């Protein structure tokens, strides 16, 4: 569970005081600053992911898959670095996990504004409410992996829900 609302000052202080690795981790984990939003940083991070996802998605599903293979380990690494630098178990400023969750939500989905809108709503629904097993993952897996994995499970739930809606309305 994210800890409190975002306060950009600790992130900025850590960014200034850290070297290349720390700065890179903070930059990625905040999704280039989207996580510094004072309110609803997870929602802002999810929205900030959409243009990048749309660009990759337009190239084809294979590129989305490759991007996920690259993004997930980077997300875990960057989240772990930021967790340590900010001295919080799951900092609200870390939103790269939402980016990975949104990308998984839209994986193999038809490219349309409806799928993006519904995917966004469904992902935020599952990410915020955390039904089992999302909540279990959130509470029991620690570190960068714990920060990212609950959002990936939420992304899987949202993706399956999108497919059910798509099949129901298309069929």
pLDDT in tens, 135-164: 999 999 999 999 999 999 999 999 999 999
pTM of the model: 0.91
- Neighbouring CB atoms inside 10 A of 51's CB total 9
Q: What is the dihedral of CA 124, 104, 72, 7, to 10 degrees?
A: -20
pLDDT at 5: 59
Per the CB < 8 A criterion, the answer to whether 132 and 81 are in contact is no
Residues 54-65 pLDDT 10s? 999 999 999 999
Full domain range(s) for residue 137: 8-170
Residues 69-91 pLDDT 10s? 999 999 999 999 999 999 999 99
Whether 3 is in a domain gets the answer no
pLDDT at 1: 57
Spatial distance between the Cα atoms of 113 and 70, rounded to a whole number of angstroms:
25
Whether 1 is in a domain gets the answer no
Whether 136 is in a domain gets the answer yes
pLDDT at 165: 94
Report the number of distinct structural domains present in the chain: 1
């Amino acid at each position: 569970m994210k800890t409190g609302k975002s306060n950009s000052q600790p992130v900025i202080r850590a960014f200034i005081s850290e070297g290349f690795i720390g700065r890179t981790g903070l930059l990625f984990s905040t999704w280039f600053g989207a996580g510094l939003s004072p309110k609803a940083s997870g929602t802002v991070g999810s929205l900030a992911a959409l243009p990048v996802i749309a660009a990759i998605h337009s190239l084809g599903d294979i590129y989305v898959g490759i991007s996920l293979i690259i993004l997930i380990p980077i997300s875990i690494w960057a989240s772990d670095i930021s967790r340590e630098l900010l001295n919080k178990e799951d900092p609200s400023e870390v939103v790269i996990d939402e980016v990975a969750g949104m990308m998984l939500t839209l994986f193999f989905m038809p490219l349309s504004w409806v799928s993006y809108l519904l995917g966004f709503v469904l992902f935020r629904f599952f990410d915020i409410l955390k039904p089992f097993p999302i909540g279990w993952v959130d509470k029991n897996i620690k570190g960068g992996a714990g920060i990212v994995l609950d959002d990936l499970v939420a992304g899987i739930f949202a993706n399956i829900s999108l497919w059910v809606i798509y099949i129901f309305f298309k069929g």
